[in-house]
Chain A
Amino acid sequence: MKNWVKILGICLLLYVHTAGLLAEVPRLNILNETIRALYFHVPMWFGMTFLFTMSVYYAILYLRNPSPELDRKVLEYANVGTVFGVLGILTGMLWANYTWGSPWHGDPKQNGAAIALLVYLAYFVLRGSLDNQEQRARLSAVYNIFAFAAMVPLIFVIPRMTSSMHPGSGGNPGFNVYELDYRMRMVFYPAVAGWILIGLWITNVRIRLKNVEEAIIELEDEK
């Protein structure tokens, strides 16, 4: 991977952290200053969705043309995606504590996010209980694709069918074409791009690390 990815990612996030904490934001009732969570909470979900989609993409490639390198990619994208998901839930709970009054509010979007994490935790359990490396890679790739498809209606369809207190749905202010004013867009879009780039970079470093570890093990075996 090119160097510019991490440099651009770091620059964007430096900008997002300064501007996100200091720049002007619209004054809205109840939300007040917590509206700044938009820059840190929402990009986590964009990042998670992006990383999980990459994981499924590599899982499909793996099934078409199996190789241990592809399997490592599937696993690492899922790993980093899960970290993004956990951070997304934690930032969301922090925000909900101040706006809704309790960290867990039984909101459809919260539940959907928790289930998305359950899917990938189950994926790791599945990997842990298969001994044969090739079988582990193949079966977990199948589960990855299947579970991701089952998750799509849960995250993108059902929350839109139910009323929710989450900003951006059910008439609540938030991420919406009319409500999100241009000052926030100037920070929000770079934040999304920056977090995705950082996610890509972390995944890439982890994949390279795993490849090196594998190479070392092979060298030691030859001795």
Chain B
Amino acid sequence: MLLILIRKEFMLELRRKAVISGIGLYMFSLIFICYLTFSLRQNSINEATWSALFWLAILFSVVNSVAKSFIGEKRGIAIYYYTLASPHVVILSKILYNALLCLVLSLTGYGLFALFIDNPVQDTLYFLLTLVLTSLGFSSALTLISGIAAKANNSHILMAVLSFPVVIAILLMAIRLTKNVLDGIDRGASLDELLNLLAINCILTALAYLLFPYIWRS
């Protein structure tokens, strides 16, 4: 069932090409604005600014793309799923699918940053590991919140307002890891942050799994 639902998400995504290209263009514009406003080819930026810009670009595009997982859906569709699958399977499939989406977005963002601005990353493997962990964390936090926001009136504003305080913990850890990775510090030094990130992910995913049935019912 889980695999079928994930496949369904993929099919839907590929069928609505406007949405996915919209997200891609959104991210491209964000990064291009960063590049233009800092006029980065002439004057280079230091590592702290690079990581701040990078995570801001990722955060905004991820919030906007995960928001659509419940907000864009038509009213009747939820009832249709309800007859087919249990809420636990639905939320798990959405979280896994969104985690993949976030990972693809982060990788694209990294590529664009390397192309336009600079690639100061010294320890690529650890940086990729950070991207995987943050994608999972973002996806489980944002998927649940998108489920909540979808029921309310002004969903898009609400999505941003509700999600920022929740993802700040992940973001802080990610920025700290990025700093270590950019400075090329010994890997043992960032182990604490990695474990912390993993723990936050576990808490958020478990809670999303437990709480989703309650939002589902309305």
Contact = CB atoms under 8 A, between A and B. Distances in A.
Interface residues of B, number: 32
A165 interface: no
B203 interface: yes
- Where chain B touches its partner, the secondary structure class is helix
- Where chain A touches its partner, the secondary structure class is helix
Given A145-B211, A153-B196, A153-B199, A129 B153 contact: yes
Nearest to A120: B165
Interface stretch (A3-11, A36-44, A76-84, A131-139): A131-139
Contact of A129 (B152, B167, B199, B208): B152
A202 interface: no
22 contacts: A118-B165, A125-B158, A125-B162, A126-B148, A129-B152, A129-B153, A130-B152, A138-B214, A138-B218, A139-B151, A142-B214, A143-B145, A143-B148, A146-B144, A146-B166, A146-B204, A146-B208, A147-B165, A149-B207, A150-B166, A151-B169, A154-B169
Contacts of A145: 207, 211
Interface in B157-177: 158, 161-162, 164-169, 172-173
Given A122-B165, A135-B151, A147-B165, A142 B215 contact: yes
Contacts of B145: 143, 146
Contacts of B196: 153, 157, 161
B211 A158 contact: no
Interface residues of A, number: 30
B200 A153 contact: yes
Interface of B: 141, 144-145, 148, 151-154, 158, 161-162, 164-169, 172-173, 192, 196, 199-200, 203-204, 207-208, 211, 214-215, 217-218
A80 B218 CA distance: 29
A18 to B, nearest CB: 39
Contacts of A161: 192, 196
A117 B211 CA distance: 22
Query: Among A131, A132, A147, which residue has the most Cβ atoms of chain B within 10 A?
Result: A147
A147 to B, nearest CB: 6
Contacts of A151: 165, 169
Contact of A122 (B162, B204, B207, B211): B162
Contact of A146 (B152, B172, B211): B211
